[in-house]
Structure 1
Amino acid sequence: MSAQSIEDLFVEGLQEMYYTEQQLTDALEDLESSSSSEDAKNAFSEHREETQRHVERLEEVFDSIGHEAEAHEDPVVDAMIRQHEEFVDGDPDAEALDRYNMLAAQKSEHYEIASYGTLTSLAEKLGHDDAADTLESILREEEQALDEVAELTEQFDQQTVEASQ
């Protein structure tokens, strides 16, 4: 980051989240196709649709603050995606892959929650009220997605225990 002001920090953060949401749209498709659990497939598909809407809403945020929507590479999301690809390349069994997919989803949700929390706060500080409202809404959706992945993981654990008995 080369931010010189709070406004620069805010715009660069938006650019990184714009990139992140675009990358996660593709990553969620990979998670869906590599999962053996139908519940997981459905959850990843639904979250992919929500993520695509986040891309569109971030474009609205850029517009509301007078900046062109521009993606700025985020090495954190690139590392998470690369880590998942490396795991898949190791040819894990279906149960291990399902578990890892849920872990990857939880990691990305935590990252998005932290990022949107910061961006919402910066938008409020800068007086970008419409942007703050939109970012707060996205933040709540990410928190809900994390809750859903955690619940899915719990169900998966229960099914795994039941299957082994």
Structure 2
Amino acid sequence: MSVKTIEDLFIHELSDIYSAEKQLTKALPKLARAADDAALSDAFHTHLEETQGQIERIDRVVEVLGIRLKRIKCAAMEGLVEEGKEIIDSIDQGALRDAALIGGAQKVEHYEIAAYGTLAALARQLGYKDALPLLLETLEEEKATDQKLTMLAEQGGNQRAAQEGRKAA
């Protein structure tokens, strides 16, 4: 896609995050199954529901702006999903894998936070007043998910992984 204007950039970025969210809906159930800790598995299931709502919000942005998304594949999310698969394939189920899954999930959240922050800034610049609240709502959800993942890690996930490691040594 040729990006020549700020409007083109907005559509490109929105198309990219749409692809990212679609890829995430396929990856999250696998992450939930791979998690050993029930709270982490539940967090992945909750984020799947949120992601489906975020896709619906993107659809509303498209509708209110009267634009068409481009058919592109988000390479960044493709790489992050692949990292998640590598974690599952290379680390035995347990606290260490959970710690790695949390780290991988936070990489995803940070990517999404950056993407929605960029989209919100572009929407402000373009005067897309009807789209901006939808983008900001998703941005806040992504930040909240990142905080939940941090709490899971700090409330014992990383500590359990460290204890498992000492036992194995």
Please indicate, yes or no, whether the TM-score normalized by the shorter chain is above 0.5: yes
2:56 is aligned with 1:49: no
Alignment match, 1:6 = 6
Q: How does the TM-score come out when normalised to structure 1? A: 0.92
The within-5 A match list for 1:16-165 is 16-155=16-155, 156-160=157-161
Determine if contact 2:95/2:158 at 8 Å carries over to the other structure.
Answer: no
CA distance in 1, matches of 2:137, 2:62: 15
CA distance in 2, matches of 1:141, 1:71: 25
Q: Deviations over 1:6-34 (max 9, x none)?
A: 00000010001111111111111111010
Q: Which moved more, 1:64-73 or 1:76-85?
A: 64-73
Identity of aligned residues (%): 35
Please state how far the C-alpha of 1:89 moved relative to its aligned partner. 2.2
Which AA in structure 2 matches 1:148?
A: K
Q: Deviations over 1:93-129 (max 9, x none)?
A: 4222111110111000000000100000101111111
CA distance in 2, matches of 1:86, 1:158: 22
Determine if contact 1:59/1:69 at 8 Å carries over to the other structure.
Answer: no
Q: Gapped runs of 5+ residues in structure 1?
A: none
CA distance in 1, matches of 2:24, 2:30: 9
CA distance in 1, matches of 2:90, 2:158: 22
Please state how far the C-alpha of 1:72 moved relative to its aligned partner. 2.0
**What is the root-mean-square deviation of aligned Cα atoms in Å?**
1.9
Which AA in structure 1 matches 2:38?
A: E
Which AA in structure 1 matches 2:44?
A: F
Determine if contact 2:96/2:161 at 8 Å carries over to the other structure.
Answer: no
Please state how far the C-alpha of 1:136 moved relative to its aligned partner. 0.7
Q: How does the TM-score come out when normalised to structure 2? A: 0.90
CA distance in 2, matches of 1:70, 1:29: 26
Q: Which moved more, 1:6-15 or 1:91-100?
A: 91-100
Q: Secondary structure at the match of 2:32?
A: helix
Q: Secondary structure at the match of 1:130?
A: coil
Change (3 A) 1:38 1:145: same
Change (3 A) 1:93 1:34: closer
**How many aligned residue pairs are there?**
165
Please state how far the C-alpha of 1:151 moved relative to its aligned partner. 0.4
